[in-house]
Every structure is written in C-alpha cells, then in structure tokens.
Structure 1
C-alpha cells in the first residue's frame, strides 16, 4: 500500500507510480523525480487520491515535452488534465510593434467611432429627458420639489463663493493685461471698454459654465453612477419610479434656472474686479468707471450672456446625467465617466459659444 502525500518512481525505471496527493506541497520533489526518469516513460495515476492544478501541470508538461504515457487516471483526474491542456497555449507578453502611421489611423478611427456612439447616445438621452419633462408637465404630482430645491442649493448657492472669487480675479487680470497693451497707445481709459464688454458678453457666462461643469456636472455623474453600481436605479424601475423624472429632470431644471443667475453674478464680480484695478492702479475713480461702463456696454451684450447661460446649463446637466447613467461594472467606472462628463461638457460649451458668437454677429449684436 502506497504512503499518502508522496510520489515515488517504480524500481524498473520506466514506470512512474504516483500515490497519495499530487499537489503544490510536493511539486518540487515530484518535478525532480520526473526529470530523472527516461524519455517515453509511463506515468501510473491509479493510486492518486488528490490532485490540484500544479500537480496536473507537472504531469501535462512531462507528457507534452517527454512523450510520457498516462495510465490509471480517475475520471476527475482526467478532467483536470484536460482543462490544464486546454489552457496550455502561448501568450504574447509584448504586442507586435505596429508602424506609427497604422497606430495613428487606428486611434483616429477608434476615437471617431466612440464619438459617434456617444453623440447618438446623448441624442437619445436628450429625447428621454424631454419625454420626462412632458410627463411631469402633464402630471404635476410627479414633480419632485425637494429634489429641485436640493439641486438649486448644490448648483447655485454653494457655487457662489468659488465663482465670485474666480470672476473677481479674472476681472483684475483682464484690466491688468489690457492696460499694459493699451498704454503703448496712450489709451488706458479704454481698459474699461475691454473689461465691460469682454466680461459681460463672453467670460461671464463661459467661465461660469466651465466652473459649473467641473463642479456640478461631475457631481451629477458621480451621484448617478454610484446609484447605478449600488442598483438603486434598478430598484427605482422595479417599484415603478422613472429614473429620468426622479434624477435627471430636477438636476437639469436646476442647472437651467440657476445658470443665468450665476452668470449675472459672475459678470458683476468681474466688473467689480476690473473696477478695483482701475481705481488702484489707473487712478480712475469708481464713479467714473461705473458711468463709463454704462455707456460702453450695450444692453444686448447682457442679453447675449443671459441667453447663452441657460443653454450651457442644460448641456452641462444633460452630459453629467448621461455619463452617470452609462456607469456599469465597478467603482473605477465612476471615475472614468465623471472625467468624461467634465471633458465633454466643457467641449460642448466651447463649441456652442463659438456657434453663438457667429449667430449674434450675423444678427448684428456686435
């Protein structure tokens, strides 16, 4: 009777009889004994009581490299050996080096396909959001006031500090850079024109949109993505609650309504920052600055900024919620989708700003 937990060669030198457990604990001694056997040996597995994948690999390797023959294997041992043999295939550790042109074209093609799929998905999500708004309008009881108020606080109230500070400093920077250039022509007084029109028409709504995209758009994607992973959204669908109406509509509505207010606040702080610079550095009194601002900034510049702001807010909220809904798998996906939400929102905001610039110039609002 063979002793357990050991492997031993037969005395005839041509048959290797295994007994007991052929496991990782005996892998070293078994490998040395197999290497000492001649080519074309016979391996008798009739007395094997237990075998793991390491032991199966040793047997398979000996059979593959040295032409060994197997006899007496139990059905479960044969099944394990077959699985190990099926998994025995070469793996390329380093991929083939492709020409740079091929890699570039492949990357461009992949990016184009992903962009197309994203745009189609975003278009479908836009339609679903409109349907959600329609359902809420038809059935006002489904409107979630508490969710909208919380979104107002998140998008608007809590963003006032950072947006105000950013806008104030941008106003100072515009004044400083403009004064340096205009001083070459003795026209420092026109720094007020530069501050007023640039802040109200472009930088106010644009910088506010970028800040909201980085702050609130990412939060929307992370919140909804986390709910996807924890299956809260599936639970909402199970009990008959529409995730679009419960999660997307309040956030989009809050962003659309708060963006004009935030943009106006940003314009105001930007002008104040420029006014402080003109007062302290250019020695232009605040009363003169305010009078000059009212003269050089036409009312339609304010309209331009306030028209762009809600559109930017809608795009930011839609992109953040869309990326959150795409989360699947694990928590790493949340971070990736959050990053995508910020990048895509800022990209779309800048593209729309360029479209608005062309449109308003065509209708004469210069």
Structure 2
C-alpha cells in the first residue's frame, strides 16, 4: 500500500513533502495544511518535493493552494526536486486556478441621492405592478367563483351573507347618517355666504341636492365603509391566514373564496346603495336645516326648489356608483387579508394597506365616473 501524503518542517527554512499526493492518499492533509502555520525567522521557505511518490490533479490542486497561500503571505516558497511530469501537471493546474480565480471588484462609491431615489422608485414600481397583477387575478378568481354560485345556488353561503349584511349595513347606519348630516350642514354653511351676496339664497337647494346626491353621499359612505368594514375584512382573513385556518379549509375541501369573500361581496353590494340612500336623506336634511338658519329659506321653499333642481337621473347616478364602490372595498380588503404572512405585524400592515388602497381606488373610480358622465352629458 502506497504511503499517505505528509509534510514536515525539518528546519524553519525547509518544508519536506512526502508520500502519494493523490485522491486516495491525501486523507485529511488539506485540513492539516490549512491549520499549520509556516513561519521562519528570516529568508524564504524552501519546499522539498523529492519524497513525493505520486501526484494527481487533486494533489496538484492542494499543492498549488499551498503555494498561493505562502505567496499571499509574502514568503518566498520555491518548490525543488519535483519530478518533471509532476511539475508539468502542477503547472497545468496552476493555469486553471489562475483562470477561475475571482477578479477583485473595485469598491464602488456610495450612490448619490438621485440614484438611490431612482432605484427605490423602480423597486416600488415593480412591486406595485406585481401587486396589481395579483389583484386582477384575485378579481378573476372571484368572478369564476361567483359564476359557479349562480350556476348552482346551493353552493352560496346565505347565512354568512345575511350576517355580513347586518354588520356592514345595519350597524353602520349611525355613523353614516351622522357624517352625511354634518356634511350637508357644512356644505350649506359654506355656500350661504356666497349665495347671500347675490340674493340667490334659494339656490342652496341646488347646491346641496346635486352635490350630495351625485357625489358626496356615495363617496363619503364608501370611505366610511372602507375604513370600517374593509379593514375588518382584511384583519379577519389575515388572522385566519396567519393561524393557518385557511390551509385547514382547503384541506377539508372548502373553498375560502366561496366561504369568506363572496358572502361579504354580495352583502356589501346590497348594503352600500341602501346606505347611500340613507346618506342622501340625512345630507339633504342637514342642508335644509342650515338653509333655514343662515339663509331664511323655509323647509317648504327648500323642498319645492329641490324638486325642480334635482332630477331622477342625478339621484340614480349617485346610487349607481355604490355597487362599484362596494366591490372595490370588499375585493381589496379580502385580497390584502390573503396576502398576510408571518405574524400579527403582517396582519396590521395588510389591514392598513387595504384601507389606503380602498379609499384611493374609490376616489379614482369616482373621478372616472365624473369624466364618463360629463362625456355622456348626464
């Protein structure tokens, strides 16, 4: 059996190699070489290789790494008495190591403010684009689930729908009515000063009626519901995702979209137009009260002018926006809830994101409605 590869430092200036520097003969030699400290009081370190009986590519690699290590440390380490065939192999392995050695990169200067701003903008834009595509995919999945429920009504969860109808509709009457009433008061109060200057007090009915029915009532109702119910949807589903209840539903063969999303969607599509109608009434009452106080317009005069100024079309435009706003609130809230992961911190973050995105999309949709109705001369 051939002798295993070995090394010894006979003197501080002389390192002696011996044995078979081959795959089978190396053993733990690379680890021992890495742990050894080759030092000398002065001069170079000569490597005596006359005792090397065999050398293959593995041994040549280990030997070349030793030579590179000693060279990096600043020591002169000539290799002597190595047979010519082994020297040729060692040279070939050294050339390959030189080709594959990583090139040290020059240190880059710290990026400037504009570069950092650009990089963060690109990163956030990519993230926003990916999230938009995911949201569109989520909308498509819900459309398919809703289609399956229309094809087979027995699949639809009626009891959760009625429960959500009470939570999102009946329980929200107080806050929606109060906010709409105050908005009508503020609207009439702000217009009173200008109308009084021109003796056009009676036109406060036009101002309050058209503004509340077409724009403010559906918009303020949707914003309130986005903060009240949209956040609850995201928090509920996010908590279920974190606690792995959603995975348990899928394991049991239950579809989370049919069980959690569609009942909320149908309930809010029904509830939001009714809440908008309630907001219309309270907002007009608030404006009527302020018109009576600030402009001496009696309720009878207000109602007569309101009947002439506000058409059924204006009323239907405001009511028609509500189902679109409801779908936006439910889909965004549930979508962000399903994207929660990790722990409670993620649930809170996704809940905040759902409210911000819902309100942004509702206002954007309202702006698009305004442009479309203006183009249609409605």
Task: Please classify the TM superposition score into its range, dividing by the shorter chain length.
Answer: 0.7 to 0.9
Q: Which residue of 2 aligns with 1:150?
A: 163
Q: Which residue of 2 aligns with 1:233?
A: 246
Distance 1:129 1:180, change over 3 A: same
Q: Which residue of 2 aligns with 1:160?
A: 173
Which stretch has the larger CA shift, 236-245 or 179-188?
A: 179-188
Alignment partners' CA distance in 2, 1:188 and 1:178: 9
Is the counterpart of residue 204 in structure 1 residue 217 in structure 2? yes
Alignment partners' CA distance in 1, 2:304 and 2:201: 16
Is the counterpart of residue 259 in structure 1 residue 272 in structure 2? yes
Is the counterpart of residue 269 in structure 1 residue 269 in structure 2? no
Where in structure 2 are the equivalents of 1:174-323 lying within 5 Å? 174-323=187-336
Alignment partners' CA distance in 2, 1:100 and 1:180: 49
Alignment partners' CA distance in 2, 1:269 and 1:362: 30
TM-score if structure 1 supplies the norm length?
0.72
Deviation at 1:103, TM superposition (A): 2.3
SS in 1 for 2:340: coil
Structure 2 runs not aligned, ≥5 long = 1-38, 40-108
Alignment partners' CA distance in 2, 1:357 and 1:351: 10
1:311-330: per-residue Cα shift (whole Å, max 9, x none)? 00001100000000101111
Q: Which residue of 1 aligns with 2:141?
A: 128
Alignment partners' CA distance in 1, 2:239 and 2:253: 20
Alignment partners' CA distance in 1, 2:213 and 2:136: 31
Alignment partners' CA distance in 2, 1:231 and 1:244: 15
Structure number, greater radius of gyration: 2
Deviation at 1:97, TM superposition (A): 5.8
**Segments of 4+ in structure 1 off by > 3 A?**
none
For the aligned residue pairs, the C-alpha RMSD in angstroms reads 1.5
Alignment partners' CA distance in 2, 1:254 and 1:139: 18
Alignment partners' CA distance in 1, 2:232 and 2:225: 10
- Which one of 110, 130, 137 corresponds to residue 117 of structure 1? 130
TM-score if structure 2 supplies the norm length?
0.70
Alignment partners' CA distance in 2, 1:185 and 1:106: 55
Where in structure 2 are the equivalents of 1:346-357 lying within 5 Å? 346-357=359-370
Q: Which residue of 2 aligns with 1:138?
A: 151
- Which one of 306, 315, 337 corresponds to residue 350 of structure 2? 337
Alignment partners' CA distance in 2, 1:114 and 1:338: 18
Deviation at 1:185, TM superposition (A): 2.4
Alignment partners' CA distance in 2, 1:117 and 1:309: 28
1:192-232: per-residue Cα shift (whole Å, max 9, x none)? 21101000000010111111111110000000000101111
Alignment partners' CA distance in 2, 1:331 and 1:307: 37
Q: Which residue of 2 aligns with 1:34?
A: none
Is the Cα contact below 8 Å between 2:238 and 2:339 reproduced in 1? yes
Q: Which residue of 2 aligns with 1:363?
A: 376
Is the Cα contact below 8 Å between 2:192 and 2:294 reproduced in 1? no
